[in-house]
Amino acid sequence: MRTHRWFTPWVLLVPALVWLLTFTVWPSLNTLRLSFTDARPLGGDAGWVGLRNYTDLLHDSQVWSALLNSVVYMAICLPLLTVLPLLVAILVERKLKGIAFFRTAFYTPVIASAVVVGLLWTWLLDDRGVINNVATALHVLQHPLPFLTDRWLVVFSAISLTVWKGLGYYMIVYLAALGNVCKELHEAAAMDGAGTLRRFFSVTVPAVRGTMFLVAILVSVAALRVFSEIYILTGGKGGPGGEDSSLVMLIQQYAGGFYGDLGYASALSVLLFVVTLVPMLVLARINNRSER
Amino acid sequence: MTAVAEAPRQKRRRTPISEAGTGEKVVRYVLLVFVLVITVGPFLWELSTSLKGAGEDIYTTNPQLIPHQPTLSNYAHVAQSIPVWRYIGNSLIVAALTVAGNVIFATLAGYAIARLRFGGRRIVLGLFLATLVLPGEVTIISQFVTVRDLGFADSLLGVALPGMVAALNVLLLYNAFRMLPGDIDQAAIVDGANVWQRLTRVSLPAVRGTLAVVAIFAFIQAWDDFLWPLLVITTPGKYTLTVGLQYLSGTFVSDKRMIAAGTMIAFIPIAVIFSVLQRYFFKGVEEGGVKG
């Protein structure tokens, strides 16, 4: 039985395909092309410059500090955001009175804009903000800590912001996975006298292992793509001497204005892509090997 | 209905694992409240700051959550300093275009791939899947070049355009349509329904949950986005709310009360929308709407 004419699927697909080709497929090819040119933000003819943008990258100290920031960012976010949201998901999985309220509340930081959240934390972490004030009043700190102006404290502040904002998001991802954990297995383990900790490691973790790898990949790639957190916490400056800038912040800086350099920004984009491939490939490999 | 819903719960209560003792319940609630304070506390502190009068010391080492002289004057000052209503309008225009584009075009494409047979179906699906590996920031520079060459630089349409069809949403709807039983189409075909009638009357009502997730996420993403509008818009009058907010904080750094009021203006609408729609969101997630 003929269910549709041959062109019907294509008619339905046209808008989505046009969008995909115009705003994703073509730009990704064009990024590579632009990275060999000296294109300017305001248009005009772009000249071919060969590998110059890439050789400039290697000698740019800002690129190296951005890469260092990225590695530190990823190294801290990865364990925290792979484990903490799982624990929170287990906490809200049980159907207690008012659990829907807690789930929604824990998700609040996710729906807020990174700009809103960044400004919120700028106020909390201010030299005279509530965190410094309370910590000095309780004599936890002798002097207020310069959370927003110190080279490394800025990075750690941005990391805590990322972890705080990501908690609810990955909690939901884990919550969907926990639904598939075999209840009988849990009960059998409990009957055999396995404690909470034991059940967590021998029943829950193996059951959500695939999801943990997925979350680990999402967290690492997100950490390498960080922009708004650092941008807002440092007022767009990237900390002292711009040393706290992330790769995406550098891309943004070269993208605009009369002095912008889209060719160099494109070379940075290609670098960003290569860097995000690393954790994806490494984690996928570990996952494959441990499955065997 | 009640009896059906009640039965499994009672059955579960008899099993040892699901029976939370009073002690365990107390521990769970204590932990829930602890996470609640961490996730929602900063928002409350910002709200409190935005309501404090000029005569109230906000830098005190003895912080008070409840304002002594509650006032809305900080909100009025925000409206006097930046055209906040226009920024809200700009953000709404971008968000409306993004939601409409994703709901309509991703539905059409997802339906075609999931429910219609045609040559090249797998290639199309693969194309949408492949773009997921690509972080958006990697192509943002050449996306900007594309939008500029199309003549949409410095316009709200230029801000909305690339996000109007997201590959992820096409895949989410593809997944939802694919899960529907095959018989429902057969019955409609026998009745002589064409593709359009089958889509709008048979399949679409069955994927409402996923559609809600797509719409909510599209709205949140457009409303919260910062980097892209920051690149595209150069005229202050065309700023979206997030860019305007960053502009406000850069210009009036001295008054934390005003910045707090500005962040609340950006946050409260999305918080209200989300809390009204959260039921559909979490239901959609349970249906498999979000898989990372």
Note the pLDDT tens digit of each residue in B31-72. Answer: 999 999 999 999 999 999 999 988 888 888 778 888 888 889
* Residues ≥6 apart with Cβ < 8 Å to B89: none
| Helix residue ranges, H only, chain A | 8-20, 26-34, 52-58, 61-93, 99-111, 114-124, 130-137, 151-178, 183-191, 196-199, 205-207, 209-224, 228-233, 247-255, 262-291
pLDDT tens column, A220-247:
999 999 999 999 999 888 888 889 999 9
Q: Is A42 helix (H, G, I), strand (E, B) or coil?
A: coil
Least CB–CB distance from B285: residue in A20, A176, A270? A176
- In degrees rounded to 5, what are phi and psi of residue A48? -80, 125
Domains, chain A? 60-291 (1.10.3720.10)
| A130 to B63: CB separation less than 8 angstroms, yes or no | yes
Residue A288 near chain B (CB below 8 Å)? no
Q: What is the dihedral of CA B276, B279, B280, B282, to 10 degrees?
A: 130
What would you report as the CA-atom Rg of chain B, rounded to the nearest whole angstrom? 24
Among A159, A177, A218, smallest CA distance to A89 is for: A177
Q: Give residues 176 to 195 of A whose Cβ lies within 8 Å of B.
A: 176, 179, 183, 186-187, 190-191
| A190 to B17: CB separation less than 8 angstroms, yes or no | yes
What is the average per-residue pLDDT within A116-126? 94
Question: ipTM for the complex?
Answer: 0.90
- In degrees rounded to 5, what are phi and psi of residue A192? -75, 0
pLDDT tens column, B123-180:
999 999 998 888 889 999 999 999 999 999 999 999 999 999 999 999 999 999 998 8
* Residues ≥6 apart with Cβ < 8 Å to B38: A164
Among B228, B61, B178, smallest CA distance to A256 is for: B228
Least CB–CB distance from B138: residue in A31, A43, A211? A31
Q: Closest-CA residue in chain A for B114?
A: A9
Q: Closest-CA residue in chain A for B160?
A: A23
**Alpha-carbon distances of B47 from A147, A218, B56, B254, rounded to whole Å:** 22, 31, 15, 18
Among B40, B77, B69, smallest CA distance to B52 is for: B69
| B42 to A124: CB separation less than 8 angstroms, yes or no | yes
Residue B4 has a pLDDT of 39
pLDDT range class, residue A81, cuts 50, 70, 90: very high
What would you report as the CA-atom Rg of chain A, rounded to the nearest whole angstrom? 24
* Alpha carbon distance A233, A215 (integer Å): 26
Residue-range domain boundaries for chain B: 2-71, 78-286
Fill in the DSSP letter of residue B161. G
Which CATH class, in words, describes the domain spanning B78-286? Answer: mainly alpha
**Alpha-carbon distances of B139 from B117, B134, B230, B275, rounded to whole Å:** 32, 8, 15, 33
Nearest CA distance, A191 vs chain B (angstrom) = 8
| B144 to A173: CB separation less than 8 angstroms, yes or no | no
